[in-house]
């Protein structure tokens, strides 16, 4: 199921110092295999040319593969674009890629120029001097893109974003902390859910897949730390992270724990519910009254009365009782 996240395979990015050390280190080990009686000037030219070619191709190829391995921010799905923009500055991304690409072609261009000049020198010392001059130019170009490389190296965090296929229905599971969201995902998933990360939450997001006869029928994602408290308590960046969830089209399961063993009162959970209902106003939403194995009849009746909603199921994410019925209801309602 990996591969839907456009950042899942982005390349690791070295620091400018690592890049320099790697290329210059390799070039310093170069030897020219020719009979020792050959012309020393020719030997020197060949050695310096080979060093330049080694440095330029190592650095230029690495930079090119970094640029080519990063997705075009304009063509990725808005869900991933929104998440990217919560975590990073979009203009800096575009600018960094442009600078790195410039550095790559500049180094190739310079290598051709210096190789041409070395071919025309009259003594070995001049050849070495030109090669050193080339190294100096390369170092200063790499210095120029130091910040860009640093910026791009931080993108590695994006590899762990959830992998979502937008051609398949998505069910989002919400509810206060500890109500059983991850357990619910596990209950209804055919295989072990994948564990992913989401910006500004310290908890893992689990992504499950519900298989049908023709492959994946639906995806189910939980949202720990996102839709688990009223939205008016959120700061701007958190709201942006929550807003990205709007791109997950499909149905919503909202879990309420009537036993309050999750650590949140029913009243608090209802406030979260109202907030989520408003946020996903146009979506199919089904409530799962969970922990039925623990709940008393009074707790259940009281919760149903207070919630006052037309689609409430009673379930347990511990025993996986009543969980699939909720999913089936949602899939039916969204026409799958
Ligand atoms: N008795 C009982 N315990 C449950 C039920 N569902 C979940 N739990 C327990 O409640 C605890 C929290 O469950 P999780 O599935 O991690 O809850 P969550 O909503 O994903 O929690 P966060 O990710 O922290 O928001 C775990 O110890 C579960 O075993 C249930 O239906 N009955
Ligand atoms: Mg969880």
Sheet containing 170-175: which strands, arranged edge to edge? 194-196, 205-212, 215-222, 170-175, 250-256, 284-289, 312-314
- Closest-lying ligand to the alpha carbon of 174? 1
288-333: pLDDT as tens digits: 999 999 999 999 999 999 999 999 999 999 999 999 999 999 999 9
Closest ligand 1 atom number to CA of residue 177: 25
198-216: pLDDT as tens digits: 887 878 899 999 998 888 8
Query: What pLDDT, on the 0 to 100 scale, is given for residue 181?
Result: 95
Query: What pLDDT, on the 0 to 100 scale, is given for residue 34?
Result: 66
Answer for the pair 56, 108: CB distance below 8 angstroms, yes or no.
Answer: yes
Tell me how far the alpha carbon of residue 318 lies from the centroid of ligand 2, in angstroms.
Answer: 13
123-152: pLDDT as tens digits: 999 999 999 999 999 999 999 999 999 999
Which residues, judged by CB distance below 6 Å to any ligand atom, belong to the binding site of ligand 1? 175, 177-183, 203, 222, 224, 228, 290-291, 293-294, 316-318
Q: Is 291 helix (H, G, I), strand (E, B) or coil?
A: coil
Task: Identify whether 11 is part of a domain.
Answer: no
The CATH number for 153's domain is 1.20.120.1190
Query: What pLDDT, on the 0 to 100 scale, is given for residue 87?
Result: 92
Measuring from atom 17 of ligand 1, which residue has the nearest CA?
180
Over residues 94-123, the mean pLDDT reads: 98
Query: What pLDDT, on the 0 to 100 scale, is given for residue 3?
Result: 67
Instruction: Show which of 102, 127, 158 is a domain's final residue.
Output: 158
Tell me how far the alpha carbon of residue 125 lies from the centroid of ligand 1, in angstroms.
Answer: 74
- Do 133 and 152 fall within a single domain? yes
- Do 186 and 319 fall within a single domain? yes
- Do 40 and 121 fall within a single domain? yes
Query: What pLDDT, on the 0 to 100 scale, is given for residue 235?
Result: 83
The CATH number for 289's domain is 3.40.50.300
Structural domain for 46, as ranges: 16-158
Task: Identify whether 9 is part of a domain.
Answer: no
Task: Identify whether 88 is part of a domain.
Answer: yes
Pocket probe for ligand 1: among 177, 179, 180, the residue whose CB has the most ligand atoms within 8 Å is 180
59-72: pLDDT as tens digits: 999 999 999 999 99
- Do 177 and 250 fall within a single domain? yes
- Do 118 and 176 fall within a single domain? no
Query: What pLDDT, on the 0 to 100 scale, is given for residue 238?
Result: 82
Query: What pLDDT, on the 0 to 100 scale, is given for residue 36?
Result: 64
Task: Tally the residues of the chain.
Answer: 336
Pocket probe for ligand 1: among 173, 175, 181, 183, the residue whose CB has the most ligand atoms within 8 Å is 183
- Do 51 and 199 fall within a single domain? no
Domain tally, the chain: 2
Report how far residue 197's alpha carbon sits from residue 158's, in angstroms, rounded to the nearest whole number.
Answer: 8
14-26: pLDDT as tens digits: 999 999 999 999 8
- Do 176 and 107 fall within a single domain? no
Q: Residue 128: phi, psi to the nearest 5?
A: -65, -35
Closest ligand 1 atom number to CA of residue 183: 15
% of the chain with per-residue pLDDT over 70: 98
Query: What pLDDT, on the 0 to 100 scale, is given for residue 237?
Result: 81
- Do 154 and 39 fall within a single domain? yes
- Do 323 and 225 fall within a single domain? yes
DSSP string, 50-107: HHHHHHHHHHHHHHHHHHHHSPPTTTS-HHHHHHHHHHS-HHHHHHHHHHHHHHHHHH
Instruction: Show which of 158, 189, 217 is a domain's final residue.
Output: 158
């Amino acid at each position: 199921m990996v591969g839907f996240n456009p950042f899942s395979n982005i390349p690791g990015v070295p620091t400018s110092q690592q890049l320099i050390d790697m290329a210059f280190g390799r070039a310093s080990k170069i030897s020219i295999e020719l009979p020792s009686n050959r012309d020393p000037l020719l030997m020197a030219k060949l050695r310096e040319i080979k060093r330049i070619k080694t440095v330029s191709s190592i650095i230029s190829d690495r930079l090119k593969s970094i640029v080519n391995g990063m997705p075009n921010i304009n063509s990725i799905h808005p869900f991933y674009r929104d998440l990217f923009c919560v975590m990073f500055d979009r203009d800096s991304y575009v600018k960094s890629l442009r600078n790195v690409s410039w550095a790559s072609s500049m180094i190739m261009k310079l290598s051709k120029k210096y190789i041409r000049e070395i071919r025309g020198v009259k003594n070995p010392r001049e050849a070495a001097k030109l090669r050193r001059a080339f190294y100096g130019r390369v170092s200063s170009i790499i210095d120029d893109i130091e910040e860009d490389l640093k910026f791009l190296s931080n993108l590695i965090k994006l590899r762990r974003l959830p992998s979502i296929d937008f051609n398949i229905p998505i069910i989002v599971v919400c509810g206060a902390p500890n109500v059983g969201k991850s357990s619910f995902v596990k209950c209804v998933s055919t295989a072990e859910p994948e564990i992913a990360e989401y910006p500004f939450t310290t908890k893992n997001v689990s992504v499950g897949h519900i298989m049908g006869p023709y492959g994946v029928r639906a995806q189910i994602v939980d949202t720990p730390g996102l839709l688990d408290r009223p939205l008016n308590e959120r700061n701007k960046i958190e709201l942006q992270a929550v807003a990205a969830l709007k791109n997950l089209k499909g149905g919503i399961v909202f879990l309420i724990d009537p036993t309050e063993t999750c650590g949140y009162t029913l009243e608090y959970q209802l406030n979260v519910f109202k907030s989520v209902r408003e946020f996903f106003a146009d979506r199919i939403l089904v409530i799962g009254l969970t922990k039925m194995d623990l709940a008393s009849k009074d707790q259940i009746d009281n919760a149903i009365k207070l919630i006052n909603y037309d689609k409430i199921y009673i379930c347990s994410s511990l025993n996986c009782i009543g969980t699939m019925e909720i999913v089936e209801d949602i899939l039916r309602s969204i026409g799958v």
